[in-house]
Structure 1
Amino acid sequence: MTGLLLRSSGEGAVNVEHTVRHTARALGADASVLLVPDAAALTVTVRGEARTATLRGVPEVFRLDQVVALKPLVQDVRAGRTGLAEAHRGLVAIETSPPPYPWWLKLLGIVLFTLGFAPLVQSTWYEVGATAVLGSVSAVLAVTADRFPRYAPVLPLVVSTTVSVITVEVFARDTAHGGPVLLMLPALFFFVPGDYLSAATAELAAGFITTGAIRLVYAAFLLVQLYVGVLLGLYLTGTSTRALFDVAAASDLPRWALFLSWIVFTAGTLLAFAIPFRLLPLLLALVYVTVGVQSLATKAIGETGGTFVAAAVLAAVTTRLTLRPKQRPRLVLLLPGFFTLTVGSLGMRGLTTLAGGYVIEGFRDLLKLVTIVTAIAVGLVLGVVLAQPAHPARRGGHLSSET
């Protein structure tokens, strides 16, 4: 169970130890976990005899169906309804289960995911059309990497290079359609580590120094890999880095298209991250609540304050929902709304704008990235604290919540 939780901890690992410790206690043992983002040292003590196992796993969020299936099994164990042998069989069944959607539905999900995000970058029909093509390219490469896992470490570089070449050669010839980076970003959003950046900052804010710091470095590495891929695309096409200007085109999308884009985005998230489709209404409601709160609060107190308030509300609502025994895990409820707040794209824009020689604009984007990532992280921590019951389980002074 520790290994499965570790591999599915791409959005943060703060609940792994709490879940493992209480599940072991229900089975008559004591357990402790020393955790870093890609490894865990698990010690289990039964009747005075201790055993330690070291586990490794790359943290990700691409099989959330397994996270959904794990929660009721853990609840049955902790309630005494499931013994050790039956729990073991249930866990093996979860780990060996096939993905809930075939490869072509995951491909479609990534395309919808990018299309739903496109109007947030530039609300133009041209942006949506370009994203349909570029997002399809990204989706094909992502699904292909699932078949050939050895290529996964360089997937962000390959995707960003390919998208950069196609954008420069096909879609960025007329500056009236906006800067080339703005045309690329929606197609790269599936790979942009904005979620890792926010999760890392939230872990640091919650006192999980080691996991937060390491995850922050990993997120920066992924971001730089995407940035290098964009530059390689320019070099391969013989384009000057001065082409990396950051100017948005005039908006021509109607309001109804912007409203419907979140439905497309949420449906794509479910397919891309293997979330059961029956959760669509609830997750869509959480997305609209997050976007609505952010929009209203931004008008009142500015972008940073609006993002902070939206993150706090999202965290509080999902935490309260998770306290219900039959509700889905908090990670699954949080993820789509969380994606609407993540700002890894600001890091991409900042780096590429700097590479284009636009120093002031580039540093402005990077400063905005740091500010808003911190606002999201602190907002998420505050939301969890406010929504916790009166006597939450504690470990080392830190609040814990259910998986």
Structure 2
Amino acid sequence: MSAVAAARPSAPDPDPASAPIDDLTAFLVRLTGLLLRSSGEGAHLIGVAVTDSARGLGGDASLLLVPEAATLTVVAADGRTRTETVHGFPEVFRLDRVAALKPLLADVRAGRADVAEAGRRLARIERAPAPYPWWLTFLGIVLFSLGFAPLMQPTWYEVGTTAALASIAAALAVAADRVPRLARVLPLVVSTTVSIVTLGFFAGDPAHGGPVLLMLPALFFFVPGDYLSAAAAELAAGLVTTGAIRLVYAVFLLVQLCVGVLLGVYVTGTSTRALFDVAAASDLPRWALFLAWTVFTAGTVLAFAVPLRFFWPVLLLVYVTVGVQSLATGLVGEVAGTFFAAVVLAAAATVLSRGAGRPPRLILVLPGFFTLTVGSLGMRGLTTLAGGYVVEGFTDLLNMLVIVTAIAVGMVVGATLVPESGPRRAAASPGTRSAA
């Protein structure tokens, strides 16, 4: 759809090398769509990327953003204006595209690529196949879950159970890439299947821990802890509309997973009273607990299509985040420890992402979101409530709200202490508007 904007941004000075309005609009529409589809961790930087790219091509642009759509207004050097509506469902599953976009955007902003070259490079990014075959994605989801297993219960039984359950979840996730109808209900199908198998084969002995603790690592790939943290960070940064919508969607995903667990309870004839966290006695050595984060990082790289060259900086930031959280929690408590870990994560990710050849900040921040594990608290709280344990359930949910707020505020503080380098910051972008 094209129309004349009611309120036009000021037109830039004419430049004979500037892109014509049609070419400029086509490129910015495709760029906005790809950024929206890659914005599961937040849409707040889309406006900066699009408007900086427009100015690098001799035009101007403004955006009205919500998480799954944007109204884009483009102004060419000759003053002509176009307005387009762009849609894109926010996800984080193809981070190779995020990595490929970073040098392209740097060249466009610096004037090293005209609109024709930029369009060709963007088309190659969109058409590029996933960097890893399906079986490596399958392996990545399994490793991702195994890395979290000791966090739920540091036992060999938890690790072995997770290997079996995560293989089922990974098989369904890989199948959903080829069956769009399955993708629409994937969280419900995965949680129901994992619940039935857990209750039917692995949760017979209370000494091995509660059934939800056995299920959670296999479901962690689908638990929206990162969405919850991103939503809270957007709210803390003043992006009320994008943050609120993302928060509602994250809560919906949590409830959908909880419903799947309850369906498994009903199918197997298990009492809902079994949905109570009973932790098993630890029997894992310390080296296994330390190694688990390396396994998790390898899983993240494969499951989310992160280029292999970024493995080591991602691994470094994972251990830094875990180390700061563990140390600070021991000194000042869980909430403060999570806050300081989020500050360090945001600041360190900004520093490590500087430079066109460095990993994008999203790739560095994403594993840290997962290590702070806010999503599991929401899942445990909902299932505990469903089991009839009201006090314990609401306690978990309250802890989730407090910790997700600590993560969000910590990320904002870290970003404030170490701002991103670049020609303009979001606060200094008069042509960029959010829906907040």
TM-score of the aligned structures, taking structure 2 as reference length: 0.90
- Superimposed CA distance per residue, residues 108-134 of structure 1 (whole angstroms, 9 cap, x where no aligned partner): 000000000100110000000000000
Equivalent residue number for residue 72 of structure 1: 103
Equivalent residue number for residue 287 of structure 1: 318
Percent pairwise identity? 70
Q: How does 1:82-121 map to 2 (within 5 A)?
A: 82-121=113-152
Letter of the structure 2 residue corresponding to residue 2 of structure 1: T
Q: Distance in 1 between matches of 2:293 and 2:218?
A: 16
SS at match of 2:226: helix
Q: 2:72 aligns with which of 42, 59, 77?
A: 42
Deviation of 1:324 after TM superposition, in Å, equals 2.6
Letter of the structure 1 residue corresponding to residue 160 of structure 2: G
Deviation of 1:287 after TM superposition, in Å, equals 0.5
Q: Distance in 2 between matches of 1:185 and 1:296?
A: 25
The answer to whether the 8 Å contact 1:342/1:373 transfers is no
The answer to whether the 8 Å contact 1:207/1:398 transfers is no
- Superimposed CA distance per residue, residues 25-79 of structure 1 (whole angstroms, 9 cap, x where no aligned partner): 0101111111111111111111211111111111000000000000001111111
Deviation of 1:335 after TM superposition, in Å, equals 1.2
Deviation of 1:183 after TM superposition, in Å, equals 0.3
Q: 2:294 aligns with which of 263, 279, 283?
A: 263
1:63 and 2:94 correspond: yes
Equivalent residue number for residue 26 of structure 2: none
Equivalent residue number for residue 18 of structure 1: 48
Length, aligned pairs only: 399
1:7 and 2:53 correspond: no
Task: Summarize the Cα distance change of 1:391–1:49 in structure 2 as closer, same or farther, 3 Å threshold.
Answer: closer
Q: Distance in 1 between matches of 2:421 and 2:185?
A: 46
Letter of the structure 1 residue corresponding to residue 321 of structure 2: T
Deviation of 1:393 after TM superposition, in Å, equals 2.8
Deviation of 1:342 after TM superposition, in Å, equals 3.0
1:227 and 2:258 correspond: yes
Larger radius of gyration: 2
Q: Distance in 2 between matches of 1:256 and 1:321?
A: 27
1:387 and 2:418 correspond: yes
Q: 1:134 aligns with which of 165, 172, 185?
A: 165
Deviation of 1:389 after TM superposition, in Å, equals 6.2
Q: Distance in 2 between matches of 1:204 and 1:40?
A: 18
Task: Summarize the Cα distance change of 1:389–1:111 in structure 2 as closer, same or farther, 3 Å threshold.
Answer: closer
The answer to whether the 8 Å contact 1:198/1:342 transfers is no
Equivalent residue number for residue 30 of structure 1: 60
- Unpaired runs of 5+ residues, structure 2, are 1-30, 431-436
Letter of the structure 2 residue corresponding to residue 79 of structure 1: A
Q: Distance in 2 between matches of 1:320 and 1:263?
A: 22
Equivalent residue number for residue 179 of structure 2: 148
Question: Aligned-residue CA RMSD in angstroms?
Answer: 1.4
TM-score of the aligned structures, taking structure 1 as reference length: 0.97
Q: Distance in 2 between matches of 1:252 and 1:372?
A: 28
